[in-house]
Amino acid sequence: MKNRKARRIQTVSESAVPEVAQSADRPVTMAAIIGGGQGCKAILDLVSQGKLAALNLEVLCVVDPDSEAPGVAAAREMGIPTLRSLHEALRFEGLELIIELTGKDDILADLYRLTPPGVRIMDHRLARVFWDLNEVFQGLRERLQEKTDLEARLQESVQRFEQFVNAAHDIIVLKDLGGRYLFINPVAAALFGRRPEEFLGKTDRMLFDPVLAERFEKRDKAFFEAGRTVSREESLVLGGRRVYLHTVRFPLLDHKGQVIGVGVISRDVTEQKRLQRSLIQSEKLAAVGKLAAGIAHEINNPLSGIITFVEDLLIDVDPADPVRRDYEVIYREALRCRQIVRDLLDYTRLQHPVRQGIDINTVIRRAHGLVSKQAAFRNVDFEFRLSAGPVEVHADPGQMQQVILNLVMNAAEAMDGKGTITIASGRSGAGRRVFFEVADTGCGIPKDQIEKIFEPFYSTKGARGNGLGLSVVQSIVDQHGGRIHVRSVVGQGTSFRIELPAREAAS
């Protein structure tokens, strides 16, 4: 097995050697290095020695507040500008790539926030992957020229390559032109619940269901048609959850410079996406909170006066008087304004959850009891598909009930008070997560609106909705470390599936 793998890596490594000779024909990549430590110095040494010629990399500047950092000193010796702030680097004309070598998450977050579109970001771990791959390929080129100790040196390089990619947190895959796996590291294999040896020599259609296999094949085909390194964000649904990946595809070449396969390096950015959404949601909550305080002060007092005055008018006016209808409209709309203000204040006063062990099925039944007698649900049928046993989570019971009530009220409004609401519950992810789902037979949500429905004040109900219900749901679910999945077909209905850590996993 080891020898076969060695020969496989040898083939891939040898194929990359001609790329060095052809680098002059490739466009130059203009880069800035953030962090002037030893990693920066090492990359600058490689650039000065011509060992990164295959990448055609030109370093525009090095950013580090420490003027004595080894990388900063090396940059000065090479005549490369040294800067103290990221903002100065972003002003460089022609900047295409930022290489982050600080290893600090806050700096990486600033990069993702401040870097303009079109400028790629390579963090310190991804930079090391390309660096070590380049060392393997360059080392093999030198050993081929020497013609001695080839097998021993090759084995050494293979071991270094494997040790690095096997220890890497990124997904690393090599395929040939037929889509057969030449190499896959343990992180990539584990993403699909398999071992690396199960992939070797097989194609996507031999490993995955037809839908997923076709998706992988289309992405590889798009790369081959582009004929160059491609960086993009992708997403997959695996095990019932959506995984977001930042992926780089690059060509594998033979000794004639012909493309013989594709290399794939992916970073799982699912948690980063979740944190970004949570941050955006928090910022919106803060803004709405300030607005709500002002509204409560400026509107509630005069609104209360209007409501009281109209109530007196309705008492005094003759029921047959035509003006009574106008008073009723004023009264109804004033009450609606007051309710909007109250909803707004409730939305911004979401409390930190007080968690305890609860059974979601019990919360569902309690919520159903609260709405089943209401007039809005007179023509609504409820269908329950609850787990036979308890579905326990570590959560705030009041907030969970609020989530279910909001989803059920939304479902009834989507059906105009007529149809069937199905509520299901159970476990997923080998019992590590629990779920509950609320589905309706209503009008459905257009695909281009699904991403917007959780934004404050966004409503698909027109004047009937204030656009806060689903935003509250998302805030509560985020606070509990959960996820929301929405499926909708226009004209057929919508389902909201909430997944939360099971009580055992949460504790």
Domain final residue pick, 137, 159, 181: 159
Q: What is the spatial distance between Cα 327 and Cα 313, in angstroms, rounded to a whole number? A: 7
421, part of any domain: yes
Q: Cβ distance 306 to 292 under 8 Å?
A: no
Residues 386 and 498 in one domain: yes
Q: Which one is predicted more confidently, 186 or 127?
A: 186
350: which 2 tokens? 């979401």
Residue owning tokens 């009891």: 369
Residues 179 and 248 in one domain: yes
Query: 448: which DSSP letter?
Result: G
Residues 45 and 153 in one domain: yes
User: Quick one: 308 exposed, middle or buried, by C-beta within 10 A (0-12, 13-18, 19+)?
Assistant: exposed
Residue owning tokens 């199905």: 422
Residues 36 and 155 in one domain: yes
* Residue 277 belongs to domain with CATH number: 1.10.287.130
Provide mean pLDDT across the span 64-82: 94
User: Does the pLDDT value for residue 278 go beyond 50?
Assistant: yes
89, part of any domain: yes
Q: Write the pLDDT tens digit of every residue in 75-111.
A: 999 999 999 998 899 989 899 999 999 888 899 898 9
482: closest CA among 413, 442, 430, 432?
432
What pLDDT, on a 0 to 100 scale, did the predictor assign at position 255?
Answer: 79
Q: What is the spatial distance between Cα 244 and Cα 109, in angstroms, rounded to a whole number? A: 17
Residues 10 and 138 in one domain: yes
* Residue 259 belongs to domain with CATH number: 3.30.450.20
Residues 145 and 27 in one domain: yes
Q: How confident is the model at residue 143 (pLDDT cuts 50, 70, 90)?
A: low
Q: Write the pLDDT tens digit of every residue in 343-390.
A: 666 656 656 778 899 999 999 999 898 888 787 888 999 999 999 888
Provide mean pLDDT across the span 480-499: 91
Domain final residue pick, 130, 159, 188: 159
Residue 65 domain boundaries: 1-159
144, part of any domain: yes
164, part of any domain: no
Strands 356-359 and 379-385: unpaired
Provide mean pLDDT across the span 233-245: 80
Residues 37 and 117 in one domain: yes
Q: What is the spatial distance between Cα 247 and Cα 264, in angstroms, rounded to a whole number? A: 7
User: Does the pLDDT value for residue 297 go beyond 70?
Assistant: no
306, part of any domain: yes
Distances (CA, A) of 168 to 104, 196, 217, 291, 352: 17, 14, 25, 47, 37
Residues 1 and 147 in one domain: yes
Q: What is the spatial distance between Cα 73 and Cα 66, in angstroms, rounded to a whole number? A: 10
Provide mean pLDDT across the span 275-283: 72
What own/partner pairs with CB < 8 Å and gap ≥ 24 does 21-24 have? 22/257, 23/53, 23/54, 23/55, 23/56, 24/56
What pLDDT, on a 0 to 100 scale, did the predictor assign at position 458?
Answer: 58
* Residue 436 belongs to domain with CATH number: 3.30.565.10
Q: What is the spatial distance between Cα 62 and Cα 72, in angstroms, rounded to a whole number? A: 7
What pLDDT, on a 0 to 100 scale, did the predictor assign at position 288?
Answer: 67
384, part of any domain: yes
- Distance, C-alpha 124 to centroid of its chain: 20
Residues 125 and 235 in one domain: no
443, part of any domain: yes
Residues 27 and 88 in one domain: yes
Residues 124 and 248 in one domain: no
13, part of any domain: yes
Lowest mean pLDDT among 48-52, 184-188, 382-386: 48-52
Domain final residue pick, 244, 268, 292: 268
Give me the number of domains the chain comprises.
4
Provide mean pLDDT across the span 224-250: 84
Residues 260 and 277 in one domain: no
State which amino acid sits at residue 365: R
CB environment 427-457: b (16+ within 10 A), e (fewer): eeeeeebbbbbbbbbbbbbeeeeeeebbebe
CB environment 321-339: b (16+ within 10 A), e (fewer): eeeeeebeebbeebeebbe
Residue owning tokens 């909001």: 406
State which amino acid sits at residue 170: D
Beta partners for 38? none
188: which 2 tokens? 């990539």
Q: Write the pLDDT tens digit of every residue in 300-324.
A: 778 888 889 889 898 988 888 889 8
- Distance, C-alpha 445 to centroid of its chain: 22
Provide mean pLDDT across the span 445-457: 78
* Residue 4 belongs to domain with CATH number: 3.40.50.720
User: Quick one: 77 exposed, middle or buried, by C-beta within 10 A (0-12, 13-18, 19+)?
Assistant: exposed
